[in-house]
Amino acid sequence: MPRATTGRVRTYRSRWEQFGPLYATLSPLRRLASVSAGGLARTADAIEGRLLEIEGARGVLGPAHAGYSGHSSETNRAIWSAWDWSTGGEEWNDAGEPEEWKAALVDEVLLPYLGDARSVLEIGPGAGRWSEVIQPRVERLVLVDITEATLDVCRERLEDPANVEYVLSAGASFPEVQGGSMDRVWSFDVFVHIAPVDVASYLADVERVLRPGGTALIHHSGRLVRTGGWRSPMTALLFARLAGERGLDVVRQFDSWSKDRFGVRANGDTITVLRKPGA
């Protein structure tokens, strides 16, 4: 048997064993459809979606997630640099009861999570709508974003107080922040737009910067949503596995608060609280 054929057979068997016969059969069809001319692009997208579903259901960052090209740092940087921030990011409040939704999130999720934290790192502050709640309550707030435009908006909104630091990330990490220096990491409305491989990279840096016993609260995609919301492919199980592989313990995963009156479930999202072991 030719070497190339032997390699394909081994790959097929490996994917059958890890993900099942449907996945092993669809994988080569996805490659064929993606390089074919004509109307096969939709077929390729549909196959990719099914592969992502299978991996996500098993909590594995497999070939489909690793090869996913959407929601890259470059794409996000272009979008959010050009975004109209005049509404302060409030357009992402729940449409039904926007003011009540945000107030309940602050009172029942954000503030209890902060507790007596002295230092907080926020990933993707946008226009600073959560930053302005956090900043007066801590000694140090580090804002990390991939665009200078959003950091400038935050400087203006917060009036550039002395306890706030601004870090421009190249994407998927923040090496400028000292290891073991943060009590909390907070991120909301951000990880839902980040590619899976970049999520994995960010989680590694979250573990690095947290003090032993420190915690992270991250809002992210909780299941594959095919239409609306512009969500990246992620499941609650896959996110938990990625965090665990990077040394973080999953404390809690939830998608609603105020006795289910408010939440992020409608968009297929999840909120995960992570803890760095120790202390």
pLDDT in the model for residue 229: 65
Give the pairing of strands 164-168 and 140-145: parallel
Q: Round to whole Å and give the CA distance between 85 and 91.
A: 10
Confidence at residue 11, expressed as pLDDT on a 0 to 100 scale: 75
The predicted pLDDT at position 16 comes to: 80
167 and 176 Cβ atoms separated by less than 8 Å: yes
pLDDT at residue 218, as a whole number: 98
What is the enclosing helix (H) or strand (E) of 16? helix 3-19
d(CA 220, CA 189): 7
Rounded CA-CA distance 88/99 in Å is: 13
- Which helix (H) or strand (E) element contains residue 151? helix 148-158
Q: What is the pTM of this model?
A: 0.92
Distance CA 188, CA 174 (A): 17
CB half-sphere exposure, 8, CA atoms < 13 A: 10
For residue 14, the model assigns a pLDDT of 81
DSSP H or E segment with residue 211: strand 210-221
Structural domains of the chain sorted by starting position, each given as residue range(s) with its CATH number in brackets: 3-66 (no CATH), 73-275 (3.40.50.150)
CB 124 within 8 A of CB 149: no
Token digits for 164? 């706030």
Which pLDDT score, from 0 to 100, does residue 33 have? 58
Helices (H) and strands (E) in the chain, counts: 11, 9
Nearest to 242 by CA among 194, 170, 177: 194
By CB neighbour count within 10 A (0-12 exposed, 13-18 middle, 19+ buried), where does 183 fall? buried
Tokens of 201: 């990279």
Per-residue pLDDT, 226: 61
Q: How far apart are CA 90 and CA 256, in angstroms?
A: 19
8-state DSSP, 178: P
Residues 6+ apart with CB under 8 A from 14: none
- Asked if residues 128 and 153 have their Cβ atoms less than 8 Å apart, the reply is yes
DSSP label of 136: G
CA pair distance 41, 43, nearest whole angstrom:
5
Give the count of beta carbons closer than 10 Å to the beta carbon of residue 184.
Answer: 22
One-letter amino acid for residue 168 of the chain: L
Per-residue tens of pLDDT for the chain, all 279 residues: 455 556 667 777 888 888 888 888 888 877 665 655 555 667 778 888 899 999 999 999 999 999 888 899 999 999 999 999 999 999 999 888 999 999 999 999 999 999 999 999 999 999 999 999 999 999 999 999 999 999 999 999 999 999 999 999 988 999 999 999 999 999 999 999 999 999 999 999 999 999 999 999 999 999 876 655 689 999 999 999 999 999 999 999 999 999 999 999 988 999 999 999 997
Compute CA distances 46 → 52, 129, 174, whole Å: 10, 36, 34
Predicted local confidence at residue 34, as pLDDT? 62
Which tokens is 93 given? 């409040």
